[in-house]
Amino acid sequence: MSLLITHNKKLSDFPKRLNHTKRLVGEHRRFSIGLSPGLWGWKKRRICKKILNPLLLFIELAAVYDLKTDTPQFKKISPYVKRRNSRHELDLAGRTWQDFLPILYKPRVFSTIHEIRSSILLACKNGDIPWDKIFREASGPFVVGNPSVGCGTAVLQYTERNLDKGLIYIVIEKINSGLESITIISERNTVLRLFDLATQICQWLRIDHFDIEAKE
């Protein structure tokens, strides 16, 4: 599937696609945002500063699924990680996300044949999260047809079991050496409110294999 990032276009510029996407968001209680071009590659510390660190005050649970433990990167952060069932929970007390850069990124290995995927799950209190600042650093919003590809089955099962707790679940998809996208999951009214905000603020629009303008 080809992917194009268009600047100065928002999902709200395409009413038909907006209505279709919003219907899916209401049905599935989730949507995703991609990282904007300014956050790709070596600018990993900007991701921490602009997206992850603003969430620290609201996080009740931070856990990594499918984390590889036989790597030098894991050894660097192992004192702050506790294994619980199928996930590794992170101890964020007194720390910032910069302390966990070894698991957010690793040196790219171009000879790798298969993608190395893992998911970071954040369970956040539904408070005054600075969503406007977060969405300003993102592309989208969009809905992934098969969310288990990006989030992982175990993560989705956990969020579905706990949707009635009034929390907002943020799933960060990690592929190989970088962060790919962020999925936001919550009860219907909350996720639709955040989706409406994202459509107005996200500064880049992801266009997949379809021609979004042709559908207007």
Please give the sequence-ordered ranges of beta strands (E in DSSP) within 48-137, or none if there are none. 59-65, 81-84, 87-90, 117-124
What is the value of pTM for the model shown? 0.80
Residue-wise pLDDT tens digits, 46-96: 777 778 888 888 999 999 887 778 877 778 788 888 888 888 898 888 888
Residue 80: CB atoms within 10 A of its CB come to 17
Q: State the first-to-last Cα distance of the chain, in angstroms, to the nearest integer.
A: 21
Residue 104 clears pLDDT 70, i.e. is over it = no
Sequence length of the chain is 216
Structure letter (DSSP) for residue 36: P
Number of compact structural domains in the chain: 1
pLDDT tens digits, one per residue of 113-139:
334 456 889 999 988 999 998 888 787
Please answer whether residues 139 and 35 qualify as being in contact, where contact means their C-beta atoms are separated by less than 8 angstroms.
yes
Residue 49: DSSP 8-state: I
pLDDT at 171 over 70: yes
- Give the C-alpha distances (Å, rounded to integers) separating 4 from 7, 33, 37, 129, 212: 10, 14, 11, 29, 11
Q: Supply the range of the domain harboring residue 59.
A: 4-215
Centre a 10 Å sphere on the Cβ of residue 54 and count the other Cβ atoms it contains.
Answer: 15
User: How far is the C-alpha of 204 from the C-alpha of 10, rounded, in Å?
Assistant: 6
